[in-house]
Amino acid sequence: MPIQTQRTSVEIEEPKGRLGVLLVGLGAVSTTFIAGVEAIKRGIAEPIGSLTQMGTIRLGKRTDNRVPLVRDFVPLASIEDLVFGAWDIFEEDAYEAALHAGVLERDLVNQLKSELQSVRPMKAVFDQRYVKRLNGTHVKQGADKMQLAEQLMEDIENFKRANECDRIVMVWCASTEIFKQPGEEHEDIAAFERAMRENSQAIAPSMIYAYAALKSGVPFANGAPNLTVDVPALTKLAVEQGLPVCGKDFKTGQTLMKTIIAPGLKSRLLGLHGWFSTNILGNRDGEVLDDPESFKTKEESKLSVLEYILQPEVYPTLYKDFSHIVRINYYPPRGDNKEGWDNIDIFGWLGYPMQIKIDFLCRDSILAAPIVLDLALFMDLAKRAGMRGVQEWLSFYFKSPMTAPGLYPEHDLFIQLMKLKNTLRHMRGEELITHLGLEYYD
């Protein structure tokens, strides 16, 4: 049943001109995203997996038959107006990087050669202490981390001017950094900037990118489980600058399956003894996660999902003390084609045990690319709508969603989708949908 509220739409600036999408990292995810968008522009591919391009949104009652495409309902930038830039620790352009990643067929990559060759990475901010299994020479040098941030800000301004962009968004598509917890250096912007000038190890490279983006008036989305923008100093800076931020960790593969299946078990009140998950993958992400400190960051992100969905403190008979184990194994022959196995031990009526087994042979970058597109377009929309700070309505895309302080994250994929679509309805002054439906039977 639609909630009866006064319909007041949010004032949203029109998406005039070009939108620059700056990507941190020009590896498998970024090149798959760029190549995909260029293929869609040419009409040789469809934007499968993209809510902004293929999704619809119901408006009003079911009997009203008002179901426009999302892109026709809210004023999103056209993919024709997207321009791409990137930073990377390797010098190869997007064409060479795409061939090296091996996600897309060589024939498709060759068809898009000119577009991909035009994307040449800028030198990256990189410190091997934070990503121990990688090393590159295409990196910036500076006396301190503030100088590195200033160099990134200069890159942003130069890119915007050279490509005649009206607006910019930044998406972190680079590797997972070692595990970090918030400290006093992250409490406020004064402490954060002081730590940058002092070259504090508490300031990771991803934080330098986030700081540079926000100082440059650019929305920032974090596709990795790194702490990055999820610290008080940077979330406050985002609010002060009137900028949206979101994260963390693109929801692809095994965790996507968990956020689909776990809500089903909970809705039917089926108990859980244990959930064992293991993965093999052979791309750069797998190599990075082979380091225990980077894996710790990813593990924290992946483990939190079931606890929040199943709520063992609310349903102790069903979910108290369930065993949840996650493993990731680097296996080079598999490349980007990750395989995830799940063994789920559940129990039902009278405590009788049952099992669910999943073998998901997925393509990580194929699942991530449409997420990058949607986040770029939705973050641009949010900025034009005057939305600032953490954008929880974009939790749909993340394993470890950012929230307001003290608020637990919502991980149920279906609740996340409802939240996202209701946010869009709110923007346009439409009634929110609760699915009560009593009016059909009055």
Please compute the mean of the pLDDT values over residues 402-407 and round it to a whole number: 94
Q: According to the model, what pLDDT value does residue 328 have?
A: 87
Taking the C-alpha atoms of residue 394 and residue 385, their distance in angstroms, rounded to an integer, is 15
Confidence of residue 269 (pLDDT cuts 50, 70, 90): very high
Please compute the mean of the pLDDT values over residues 85-101 and round it to a whole number: 97
Percent of the chain scoring above 70 in pLDDT:
96
404 and 357 co-located in one domain: no
Structure-token match 């035009």, residue found: 118
Please compute the mean of the pLDDT values over residues 22-28 and round it to a whole number: 97
154 and 29 co-located in one domain: yes
Q: Within a domain: residue 10?
A: no
261 and 380 co-located in one domain: no
250, 379 in Cβ contact below 8 A? no
Checking if the pLDDT of 150 tops 70, the result is: yes
Taking the C-alpha atoms of residue 415 and residue 355, their distance in angstroms, rounded to an integer, is 25
Peptide bond into 248 cis (omega under 30): yes
Taking the C-alpha atoms of residue 113 and residue 7, their distance in angstroms, rounded to an integer, is 48
Confidence of residue 2 (pLDDT cuts 50, 70, 90): very low
245 and 258 co-located in one domain: no
Q: Within a domain: residue 55?
A: yes
Burial class (CB in 10 A: 0-12, 13-18, 19+), 127: middle
Q: Within a domain: residue 12?
A: no
Maximum distance among all alpha carbons in the chain? Answer: 72
Tokens of 440: 């059909």
Burial class (CB in 10 A: 0-12, 13-18, 19+), 359: exposed
Q: According to the model, what pLDDT value does residue 281 have?
A: 84
131 and 212 co-located in one domain: yes
Tokens of 48: 């499968």
Pairing of strands 339-347, 323-330: unpaired
What is the domain-level CATH number for residue 320? 3.30.360.10
Q: According to the model, what pLDDT value does residue 6 have?
A: 55
Q: According to the model, what pLDDT value does residue 289 have?
A: 66
244 and 266 co-located in one domain: no
The dihedrals phi and psi of 406, each to the nearest 5 degrees, come to 80, 0
298 and 373 co-located in one domain: no
Q: According to the model, what pLDDT value does residue 297 have?
A: 66
89 and 192 co-located in one domain: yes
Structure-token match 């990055």, residue found: 228
Q: According to the model, what pLDDT value does residue 301 have?
A: 64
> Element (H or E) spanning 298, and its range?
helix 292-310
Structure-token match 């973050």, residue found: 379
Taking the C-alpha atoms of residue 342 and residue 278, their distance in angstroms, rounded to an integer, is 7
Percent of the chain scoring above 90 in pLDDT:
83
* CA angle, residues 393, 394, 397, in degrees to nearest 5: 145
DSSP for 110-151 reads HHTHHHHHT--PEEBP--TTTSTT---S-B---SSHHHHHHH
58 and 38 co-located in one domain: yes
What is the domain-level CATH number for residue 44? 3.40.50.720
Encode pLDDT of 183-203 as tens digits: 999 999 999 999 999 999 999
Q: DSSP 3-state assignment of 172?
A: strand
116 and 234 co-located in one domain: yes
Question: What mean pLDDT, rounded, does the chain reach?
Answer: 94
Pairing of strands 339-347, 82-88: unpaired
Q: According to the model, what pLDDT value does residue 4 have?
A: 45
Residue of 5 and 135 predicted with greater confidence: 135
Q: According to the model, what pLDDT value does residue 408 have?
A: 92
Q: Please give the DSSP secondary-structure letter assigned to residue 314.
A: T
Taking the C-alpha atoms of residue 215 and residue 154, their distance in angstroms, rounded to an integer, is 11
Q: Within a domain: residue 8?
A: no
Tokens of 261: 């299946």
Checking if the pLDDT of 36 tops 90, the result is: yes
Q: Say how many domains are in the chain.
A: 2
360 Cα distance to chain centroid? 20
Domain that holds residue 191: 18-250+366-427
Residue of 334 and 209 predicted with greater confidence: 209
Q: Within a domain: residue 434?
A: no
The dihedrals phi and psi of 365, each to the nearest 5 degrees, come to -70, -30
Checking if the pLDDT of 5 tops 70, the result is: no
Q: Within a domain: residue 211?
A: yes
> Which residues lie across from 122 on neighbouring strands?
87
Checking if the pLDDT of 293 tops 80, the result is: no
Checking if the pLDDT of 351 tops 90, the result is: yes
Checking if the pLDDT of 263 tops 60, the result is: yes
Taking the C-alpha atoms of residue 257 and residue 360, their distance in angstroms, rounded to an integer, is 9
Taking the C-alpha atoms of residue 296 and residue 291, their distance in angstroms, rounded to an integer, is 9
Checking if the pLDDT of 166 tops 70, the result is: yes
199 and 61 co-located in one domain: yes
197, 144 in Cβ contact below 8 A? yes
Residue of 23 and 288 predicted with greater confidence: 23
Confidence of residue 442 (pLDDT cuts 50, 70, 90): confident
